[in-house]
Amino acid sequence: MYDEPALESKVTNKDIKIAARNVQVFYGDTHAIKDVNVEIQDKTVTAFIGPSGCGKSTFLRCLNRMNDTIDICRVEGDILLDSEDIYDKRVDPVQLRAKVGMVFQKPNPFPKSIYDNVAYGPRIHGLAKNKSDLDEIVEKSLRRGAIWDEVKDRLHAPGTGLSGGQQQRLCIARAVATEPEVLLMDEPCSALDPIATGQVEELIDELRDSYSVVIVTHSMQQAARVSQKTAFFHLGNLVEYGETSQIFTNPVDSRTESYITGRIG
């Protein structure tokens, strides 16, 4: 990519990483996502905001086919990752999820050691040839997750013994260990205190150098702080999508304005 010194909130002409076209999602008879078209850029943080139940998490989970595990969920339309339809019959969702990593709302480390938490992905995907390779990947990922210094002396302690913020950063380290191209984050800070939130936000900003990050958040301040692009969802519709600065300062749609000023939500 062009390593131009972009302004904090200025979006440049980067590649399109994910393109969604006319995406519809149904839970049984409920039409949860209605006709969403969006283009998510590479090496950018894109925030999905909107009131509860507006479909932003549902749409996020479509991007790595986590909705496949829900029997009654049906997805229509095209979602292209690097111009390849991820809902094509030939696509194995397991391979897709290796490319599109995910961090969940609640920190969910495996009840194993910190080392094993991070090493699990590389192990099942065969990313390391030997033990020292794996050690290197684990260290690199934990450094990326900005948690290496805190855990380097106790890599074999259980991951569940860490504090909430540390657990979430461990989960981020686990997600980046498989070398994904896109990182999906579903309200990653909702279970964290302000200090841990600050650490994770800082981390998200750093991750932008290597990945396309999509983050769902309930906090508009967070969206404003970490994202370059923002999408506002309301009742299953994508109401407005644009540069974060524009969405927050000069929204086009009246619903967006009502939401960010606190009148609906």
Partner 1 sequence: MTDATASHTPQPGQGGETAKSSLFTVSPRTRRRNASERRFKAYGVTAILLGLLFLCFLVYSILSKGLPAFTRTVAEVELTLTQAQIDEAESTLLKTGAYRDLMIAELGKVLGDVEPDAIQRIVGNPGAMLRNFYTANPDAIGDTVAFELPTASRVDGYFKGRITREGQANSTFLTPADLDLADRMQEEGIIKREFNWQFLTGAEASDDNPVAAGIGVSVVGSLYMMFVVLALSLPIGVAASIYLEEFAPKNRFTDLIEVNISNLAAVPSIVFGILGLAFFIQFAGLPRSAPLVGGLVLTLMTLPTIIISTRASLRAVPPSIRDAALGVGASKMQSVFHHVLPLALPGILTGTIIGLAQALGETAPLLLIGMVGFVALRYPDTIASGFLDSNSAMPAQIYTWAARADQIFYEKAWGGIIVLLVFLLTMNIIAVILRRRFERRW
The residue ranges that bind partner 1 (CB under 8 A) are: 64, 66, 69, 71, 94-95, 97-98, 101-104, 106, 108-111, 120-121, 124-125, 160, 171, 174-175, 177-178
Cβ proximity to partner 1, 61 vs 234, nearer residue? 61
Least distance to partner 1, CB of residue 255, Å: 31
Vertex 217 angle, CA 97 and 265, to 5°: 135
| 180 or 236: CB nearest partner 1 | 180
Q: Look at residues 1, 54, 21, 45 and name the one whose alpha carbon lies nearest to residue 233.
A: 54
CB of residue 150 to partner 1, shortest distance in Å: 20
Q: Quote the distance between the C-alpha of residue 137 and its chain's center.
A: 21
Question: From residue 250, how far is each of 11, 114, 195, 222 by CA, in Å?
Answer: 16, 44, 30, 18
Q: Which residue has the tokens 């925030």?
A: 47
Determine the angle formed by the axes of helices 164-177 and 114-125, rounding to 10 degrees.
20
Closest CB to partner 1 among 54 and 185?
A: 185
Whose structure tokens read 């519709």? Answer: 237
In terms of CB distance, is 80 or 127 closer to partner 1?
127
- Nearest approach, Cβ of residue 234 and partner 1 (Å): 26
Across 131-186, where does the E strand assignment appear? 182-186
CB of 71 to partner 1, least distance (A): 6
The least CB distance from residue 195 to partner 1, in Å, is 23
**Nearer CB in complex with partner 1: 106/152:** 106
